[in-house]
A and B are shown apart, each in its own frame.
Chain A
Amino acid sequence: MRRAVTGQRCYPFLLGLIAIASLALGRNPTVSASEQVVVVYVSEDQVFSEPILKDFERDTGITVKAVYDTEEAKSTGVMNRLLAEKNNPQADVYWANEPIRAEVLKQRGIAAAYVSPNAQGIPEMFKDPEGYWTGFSARARVLVVNAKVKDKPTSIQAYTDPRWKSQAVIANPLFGTTTAQVAALFTVWGDERAKAFMQGLKANRVRISTNNGESADFVASGEATFALVDSDDGASRIAQGKAIEVVYPDQGAEDIGCLLVPNAVLLIKGAPHAENAQKLIDYLLSNETEHKLAFAACAQLPLHPGVETPPTVKRIETLKLMPIHYAEVARILEAIQPFLKEWAGY
């Protein structure tokens, strides 16, 4: 009894606790501004973005502390974490997988202007005119079509064509790049035509999937004939040997063109490690990074001219692009949320 009272029995337990605490808390991920660290929040798929960030660490000696998004958060989890941390920023850089969110962060006062020297050569439509975000390595919004289909659809208007009734699938337009696609259509077509198109989807019994990947899988398995997805969804399924083909939609002279969705990088206002943040932004906007992302499984289209690409990745000069301003798309996207929620039955 006395031994226990004096606490001798407790010593191993307490020592264990202290050891565990040291292990768990000793390597504090947040570090002082003087250390060679950069904190980046990433919405691009971790499987593609992490190797780039590792290369940056290796090349510069700067440690990267990253927070990655999840598909289940519709790739908006870290953006909302940035919004929540507005008054006490933890991140230095945000690597968005599309520029709409970057634009929203600019409008909410979370981004800081930084024009990287490596942004030179990137077409103006993929950069914020005030330097708050810069685009790089893009995905295209493409139609993936089951390989057995002979006469393939070539326009997104096939969704409302009775010929394809009950055969098409599209990801839930409340989330992800499909939302951006719908908002882009509102800017190009105007409210009336865009709303008619959305109602047309319902009338033509278009199936709604939870995400682009699932849409591509429906097409690959033959449960749907075609789907509008991101080019990396198509590329990854083709790499897995699935029977689908990719069609870049609306490439005719009178057509609206194909929507391009570049990655976007921005500096966080009040970034704790601003200098290192600028180095990371420069790195991401380099030709080398675009080259790596073109040859990776995501097969993204470089925005810099002259970057080498594999044969399967189109160059943007060869495509007819949808004429949009991403800032306008971001504004419309917020405005059409009530319509989209109602459309989706929320």
Chain B
Amino acid sequence: MARRVISVLIVLLLAVIGLLPLLVMFGQSLIVHGRLSTEFYRASLASTHTWVLLGHSVALALLTTFFAVVLGVPLGIVLGKTDLLCRTLLMALFTIPLLMPPYIMAVSWSYALGREGFVARWLSVPMAQQTSTWLFSLPGCVLVLGSTFLPVVMFLTMTSLQSVNPRLEEAGRLVSGWFEVLKAVSLPTALPGILLSAILVFLLSLGEFSVPTFLRYQVFSVESFTQFAAFHEVGAATASATLLVLIALLILIVERQYVRRPLASLQSTFDRAETVPVTLGPLRAWVFMLVCLLCGVLVIVPVLVLVIQSASPAAYVEAFSRAGDSLLRSVAYAAFGASCLTMLGFFLGYFLARRQLPFWQALDFLTVALFALPSTVIGVSLVTLWNKPATSFVYATPLIVLLGYLAQYTALTSRITVAALSRIPASMEEAAQVAGAGWLRRVACVLAPLAKRGLVAGWLVSYLFCLRDTGITMMVYPPGGETLPVRTFTLMANSPPRLIAALCLIMVAATLIPLGLLNGVVRPMRAAR
């Protein structure tokens, strides 16, 4: 009974939050001057501009994925598997770009490489013109998005490698060196996790709009935003977004074919043994220097640029006076959004993992499609559906922002739950069932405690995504209720660079401080156990 009620609730919730707004928008895109028509789609497909933008979007997503995988996988191996110095510190540093709204990295690089940036001031103006041209184009977008999403690949590689059964690696070590073992045993076993990270990066890059907008590189998500924001063409915006959804669904099909294979060679939660560390030996110092160099270029330099640019107490005083309330609001919205996403994701993840029916797989498709949609499109669809006098209690309050978060980010928490539950043998739940425990009791007392690491991970990931969200919040926030990323974004026009840099650093602190506090709470608890 409880299972039925919850499954119906989930279906209703996803229908109202995700499907209905999209259907309303899709319906509007098929009505031109009061008549049923496919004009927007025909116009979109017939336009050369469409295909050029589509090419740009795919090129950006592919190159960003390539960048993140080429650097992220070796980093994941080195930081997750070897005896490298300062691994925890380096891991934390590499994570910083992922914690911020991506456009902050773009702002920072523009202060360094832009026409009047540090290159112009410290080196030469012609050189700055070249670096600026380079930054405000495809390579610049790849640099910014690649360094932002690199931690996704890094962490999933680390997690996958740590889950490889050490007995297999030890067996391999009896007959060959570590390089061969990694190549023949560890990496092939961890491949599903690495592929999943590549798919995630591809989808995130495909739908990202703030960085291409800031760096003036025309892609589909920007086009969709422009169609709505500048021309108020909801139909054209939907037509633009539909192609992105189709690409995302194609990627999902590929994922189902090649990624979701049985994870037999991964350790289950119950036979976890210590992972076998790789000893770097004489290479340790060299690898450490290389990793530090990479960290310096991708993380330290952009953060340092912001610090230098904002180096005046007046900038911070002004930033706090202008955005102090937005800061609190951001943290509250993100925490509440993450809690709701964790609950929704957990139950959806349960049904995906345990009841592999086509119906639940279809819901999975829906959440992933929503995740891949440009956030601005979700924002438009929410306005279209909820802006009615009868639903003002949703539209005119922060609830509308929460609905946006649930629509876009449920795929994250449900997928993390699926991964967490796949490590828990079904026999555990069956044993509780035989002992007479009802479904809700089994979920609450057996599965949730066993999957708590996954739940905490899901909460953290969704908290970060809610905190850094710009696209949805910007479209729907209630008057006077903007978040810090939105406020920074709206203040950019003609504001002094020192103010923007200070706001960006406050945003970084707003992300890191709660995570630090959480770590401070969790670590002693773990140590006490």
Q: Does any Cβ of B come within 8 Å of A149's Cβ?
A: no
Which residues from chain B contact A91 at a C-beta distance below 8 Å? 479
Q: Which residue of the partner chain B has the closest CB to A239?
A: B496
Q: Does any Cβ of A come within 8 Å of B469's Cβ?
A: no
Contact mask B208-220 → A, CB, 8 Å, 1/0? 0010011010000
Contact mask A21-40 → B, CB, 8 Å, 1/0? 10111001110000000011
Once the chains bind, are B332 and A20 in contact (CB under 8 Å)?
yes
Q: Does any Cβ of B come within 8 Å of A69's Cβ?
A: yes
Contact mask B364-402 → A, CB, 8 Å, 1/0? 000000000000000000011001110010011111001
Q: How far is the CA of A7 from the CA of B125 in the complex (A)?
A: 66
Once the chains bind, are B479 and A47 in contact (CB under 8 Å)?
no
Q: How far is the CA of A333 from the CA of B293 in the complex (A)?
A: 53
Cβ-Cβ contact count across A and B, 8 Å cutoff: 159
Q: For the complex, would chain B's binding face be called helix, strand, loop or mixed by DSSP majority? A: helix
Q: Which of B129, B230, B392, B477 has the most CB of A within 10 A?
A: B230
Q: How far is the CA of A233 from the CA of B384 in the complex (A)?
A: 35
Once the chains bind, are A66 and B332 in contact (CB under 8 Å)?
no
Which residues from chain B contact A210 at a C-beta distance below 8 Å? 216
Once the chains bind, are A29 and B230 in contact (CB under 8 Å)?
no
Q: How far is the CA of A64 from the CA of B384 in the complex (A)?
A: 25
Q: How far is the CA of A24 from the CA of B115 in the complex (A)?
A: 41
Which residues from chain B contact A21 at a C-beta distance below 8 Å? 336
Once the chains bind, are A71 and B493 in contact (CB under 8 Å)?
yes
Which residues from chain A contact B389 at a C-beta distance below 8 Å? 87-88
Once the chains bind, are B339 and A16 in contact (CB under 8 Å)?
yes
Q: Does any Cβ of A come within 8 Å of B333's Cβ?
A: yes
Q: How far is the CA of A221 from the CA of B392 in the complex (A)?
A: 49
**Distance in Å: Cβ of A176 to nearest Cβ of chain B:** 9
Once the chains bind, are A84 and B493 in contact (CB under 8 Å)?
no
**Given A73-B229, A80-B228: A85 and B494 within 8 A (CB)?**
no
Q: Does any Cβ of A come within 8 Å of B355's Cβ?
A: no
Which residues from chain B contact A232 at a C-beta distance below 8 Å? 494
Q: Does any Cβ of B come within 8 Å of A166's Cβ?
A: no
Which residues from chain B contact A29 at a C-beta distance below 8 Å? 396-398, 478-481
| Interface residue from A50, A65, A69 paired with B479 (Cβ < 8 Å) | A65
Q: How far is the CA of A20 from the CA of B466 in the complex (A)?
A: 14
Which residues from chain A contact B487 at a C-beta distance below 8 Å? 46
**Given A30-B392, A88-B389: A70 and B489 within 8 A (CB)?**
yes
Interface size of B by CB at 8 A reads 60
Once the chains bind, are B494 and A4 in contact (CB under 8 Å)?
no
| Interface residue from B116, B214, B335, B492 paired with A20 (Cβ < 8 Å) | B335
Which residues from chain A contact B47 at a C-beta distance below 8 Å? 346
Once the chains bind, are B396 and A30 in contact (CB under 8 Å)?
yes
> Which of B260-268, B295-303, B441-449 lies at the binding interface?
B441-449
**Distance in Å: Cβ of B81 to nearest Cβ of chain A:** 34
| Interface residue from A47, A63, A90, A233 paired with B491 (Cβ < 8 Å) | A47
**Given A84-B384, A88-B388: A25 and B490 within 8 A (CB)?**
no
Q: Does any Cβ of A come within 8 Å of B49's Cβ?
A: yes
**Distance in Å: Cβ of B144 to nearest Cβ of chain A:** 15
Q: Which residue of the partner chain A has the closest CB to B391?
A: A88
Which residues from chain B contact A28 at a C-beta distance below 8 Å? 397-398
Q: Which of B338-366 contact A (CB under 8 A)?
A: 339
Q: Which residue of the partner chain B has the closest CB to A68?
A: B490
Q: Does any Cβ of A come within 8 Å of B474's Cβ?
A: yes
Q: How far is the CA of A174 from the CA of B228 in the complex (A)?
A: 14
Q: Which residue of the partner chain B has the closest CB to A23?
A: B332
Once the chains bind, are B490 and A70 in contact (CB under 8 Å)?
yes
Once the chains bind, are A73 and B397 in contact (CB under 8 Å)?
no
Q: How far is the CA of A244 from the CA of B115 in the complex (A)?
A: 15
Q: Which residue of the partner chain A has the closest CB to B432?
A: A1
Q: List 23 A-B contacts (CB under 8 A).
A: A1-B445, A17-B339, A20-B339, A23-B336, A24-B333, A25-B399, A29-B398, A39-B480, A41-B479, A45-B495, A46-B495, A47-B494, A47-B499, A67-B482, A70-B474, A71-B493, A84-B387, A85-B387, A87-B389, A90-B396, A220-B115, A221-B129, A236-B494
Residues of A within 8 A of B (CB): 1, 4-5, 7, 10, 16-17, 20-21, 23-25, 28-30, 39-41, 45-48, 50, 63-74, 76-77, 79-81, 83-85, 87-88, 90-91, 174-175, 210, 213-214, 217-218, 220-223, 232-233, 236, 242, 297-298, 337, 345-346
Q: Which 5 A-B pairs have the closest CB atoms?
A: A65-B480, A65-B479, A30-B396, A71-B493, A73-B229
20 further interface pairs, Cβ-Cβ under 8 Å (given A47-B495, A85-B387): A5-B441, A20-B335, A23-B328, A24-B398, A29-B397, A30-B479, A45-B493, A45-B495, A46-B490, A47-B491, A70-B490, A72-B213, A72-B214, A74-B229, A76-B232, A80-B228, A84-B384, A87-B387, A220-B115, A221-B115
Residues of B within 8 A of A (CB): 47, 49, 115-116, 120, 125, 128-129, 210, 213-214, 216, 225-226, 228-232, 322, 328-329, 332-333, 335-336, 339, 383-384, 387-389, 392, 395-399, 402, 441, 444-445, 449, 474-475, 477-482, 487, 489-495, 499
